[in-house]
Structure 1
Amino acid sequence: VLAPPPSSGTRDAFVELVLHDVCKSEYKMDKKTYKENCSALREDGFVTEVGENDNLIIEKLTDNSERFGIFGFSFLDQNRDRVQGSFVDGIEPSFDNIADGSYKVSRPLYFYVKKEHIGVVPGIEDYTDYFMSLSIEGGPLEDAGLIPN
Structure 2
Amino acid sequence: MPVEVQELPCREGHIGLLTLNSPDTLNALTEEMIIQAQEALDAWAEDDRICLVVLRGAGDRAFCAGGNIRTLYDALKGQGDAEAPARFFTREYRLDFCVHRFPKPVIGLAHGIVMGGGLGLLSACRYRLVTPDVTLAMPEISIGLFPDVGASWFLNRL
TM range (shorter): under 0.3
Larger strand proportion of the pair: 2
Q: Compute the TM-score of the two structures, normalised by the length of structure 1.
A: 0.27
Please tell me whether Structure 1 or Structure 2 has the larger radius of gyration of its CA atoms: 1
